[in-house]
Structures are given as C-alpha cells and as structure tokens.
C-alpha cells in the first residue's frame, strides 16, 4: 500500500512539472512575439523619423586655385564663410591654394592668416639658385611651413585636405591626402621654369596648376556634396609684347589653364572669381586689397550657398511617435 501511494505521488509530481514547463514555454513564446513586435515598431519609427539624405544639410568643400600672391584673396573667401557660419567640411588646394589650405586646415585662425599675409614676400618662399631645372628653390618655403603650420601631417589636420601636384613624367595629377604635408605643398607650388621640381617617393613633381588649376575634382573624390571653386583669373603679362622669360612662360601657362577650365568647372557647384586682374603675380604688398576682393566675391555668392543649407520644414521636424499601448498576453488556463 505504501509503495502504491509513493508511486501515485511521484507520478502526480511529474505531471505537475510537465504542465509547469509547458506553461513557461507558452509564456516565453508569447513574450517573444511581443518583443519582436516592439522591435519592428521601433525600426519603422526610426526609418520614418530620420529625414532622407536628400533633405539633410550637404557637406561643403572649398577648392582653392593657384595664383601666387593673388592667392591672398583666398583668405577673404574663407573669412566670409566663417563669419556667415557656413561649415567647411573639406578643402583642396593647388599651388598657393595648397599653402592657404594647409595653414587653414592645420588650425590657423583668419586673423593669423591675415597677419602672415602682411609679412610674406617672394623671398619668404623662394631662394634664387643656379640650376638646369629652374631659377629658384623652395627650401625657404619648407622652413616657412614648418614654422607656420600647427601640425605637419594630413592625419592631424582639423579639416581634411587634399594637395595637388603634377607628375612630370606622366603628366597626370598627383593628389596627396595622407602622410607629411610640407613636401606635397612644395611640389604643388613648383612652377615649371621658375621653381625646381620636387621629388617625392621617386616621382618628380611640378606645379598642380598643370593638372588641377582649381582642384574641384579631387574634392569630389573626397566625397563632398557641394563644391565651391575659387578661381584666381588674371593675366601674367599686362603688355602685348613679353618683357622677359617669365612673361613668356607665365602667360603661356595662363592660356593653357584657361583652355582646360571646362574640366574643373564641371565639377564645381559654384565658381568664385575674385577680381584679381589688376594685381601682379608678386603683389604681396597689397594684401589688404586682395583680402577685400576675396571677401567681396564670396559675399556676392552667399545667396546661392545659403540655399544649399535650407532644410525643408517637413524634413526638419521629425514625426511624433504614436502612443504605444500593448495588452498583456493572456495567460493559459490552469
């Protein structure tokens, strides 16, 4: 009799455990369904709440072209963009644009750039030399950049920068965006016939103006949404007849660059052209005037640039989440 009672009790205990396990399993399944429903709702709400890419504010990049002393006008362009709180996400520079871009992206303020512009002269960057490859070296430019830049590698810059040069052998454009900054900037400024070519990793490089007069395409390749190209258009020689060797080579390059301008213009959303026609290539002493013409040109273009930053009201206000109400899952009958 005792053994029978024990067997019945043991069987009842097993049945109770089996029912409890089934109830727990049932509840877990219902709970899993509720969790999956909430997750799906969250994904759908997030998708609807975040504005589409077409409605977000675009990233803006500035492509700074070459022009030697006329490049001081770039400071005026950057000054207006800062004053109007238009964010610059990326910069690309050619020749003097590479110098300005490296200085600005390294952390120099507009006030510091203006102060430097009032001090520099041709001799700050160049030293006359006797060479079969040119009349001046850029050794002094290297010393100037080492002293002026707040950082010395692309990776340390506060704003991403691309510096362009031209491969002497292939004629193709060389774009630098990593590693040391100083030699790529020197190469970008190595105007053929005047400055000595610069060797970097076995390649001889000359002025980036031959391949990227205004580096809008390298800026596009960096992934920027909108490109502001700054073109310093001006004649090298103001006379009909050339006065010396530099007039011949300088005006010839100016003509060639104008002929290929459709290439870089097609990659720009807007082209800023400060009126630098009345300035000589070495007019460093007129820094104040050059900065002002840069400011004036950029201010004239502001209405168009501001349109890029306008976010439609519909996209600016995210959708309100509907009140989420859920009923508890029914418990199984005992």
Known catalytic residues are 95, 207
- Which tokens sit at 106? 């390294």
* Local structure of 68: helix, strand or coil: helix
- Of the candidates 238, 217, 227, the one whose C-alpha atom is nearest the C-alpha of residue 94 is 217
The answer to whether the beta carbons of residues 190 and 206 sit under 8 Å apart is yes
- Of the candidates 63, 73, 67, 70, the one whose C-alpha atom is nearest the C-alpha of residue 93 is 63
Output DSSP code: residue 275: -
The answer to whether the beta carbons of residues 228 and 272 sit under 8 Å apart is yes
- Which tokens sit at 66? 């070459």
Collect all residues with Cβ–Cβ distance below 8 Å to 320 and sequence separation of at least 6: none
* Local structure of 329: helix, strand or coil: coil
Give the number of residues written for the chain.
334
Output DSSP code: residue 195: B
CA dist., res. 267 & res. 244, Å (int)? 35
CA dist., res. 95 & res. 159, Å (int)? 18
CA dist., res. 196 & res. 194, Å (int)? 7
């Amino acid at each position: 009799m005792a053994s029978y009672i024990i067997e019945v009790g043991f069987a009842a205990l097993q049945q109770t455990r089996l029912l409890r396990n089934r109830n727990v399993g049932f509840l877990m399944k219902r709970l899993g369904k509720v969790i999956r429903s909430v997750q799906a709702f969250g994904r759908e709400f997030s998708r609807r709440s975040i504005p589409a890419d077409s409605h977000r504010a675009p990233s803006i990049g500035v492509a700074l072209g070459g022009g030697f002393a006329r490049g001081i006008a770039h400071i005026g362009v950057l000054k207006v963009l800062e004053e109007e709180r238009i964010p610059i996400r990326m910069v690309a520079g050619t020749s003097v644009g590479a110098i300005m871009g490296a200085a600005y992206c390294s952390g120099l303020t507009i006030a510091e750039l203006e102060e430097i512009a009032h001090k520099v002269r041709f001799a700050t960057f160049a030293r006359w030399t006797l060479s079969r490859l040119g009349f001046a070296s850029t050794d002094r430019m290297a010393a100037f950049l080492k002293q002026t830049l707040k950082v010395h590698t692309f990776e340390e810059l506060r704003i991403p920068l691309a510096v362009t040069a031209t491969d002497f052998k292939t004629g193709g454009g060389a774009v630098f965006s990593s590693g040391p900054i100083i030699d790529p900037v020197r190469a970008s400024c190595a105007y053929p016939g005047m400055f000595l070519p610069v060797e970097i990793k076995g390649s001889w490089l000359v002025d980036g103006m031959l391949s990227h007069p205004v580096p809008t395409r390298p800026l596009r390749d960096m992934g920027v949404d909108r490109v502001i190209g700054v073109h310093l258009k001006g004649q090298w020689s103001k006379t009909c007849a050339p006065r010396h060797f530099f007039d011949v080579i300088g005006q010839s390059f100016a003509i060639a660059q104008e002929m290929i301008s459709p290439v870089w213009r097609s990659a720009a959303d807007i082209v800023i052209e400060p009126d630098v026609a009345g300035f000589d290539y070495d007019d460093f002493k007129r820094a104040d005037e050059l900065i002002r013409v840069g400011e004036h040109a950029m201010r004239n273009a502001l209405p168009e640039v501001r349109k890029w930053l306008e976010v439609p009201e519909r996209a600016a206000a995210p959708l309100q989440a509907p009140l989420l109400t859920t009923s508890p899952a029914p418990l199984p009958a005992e």
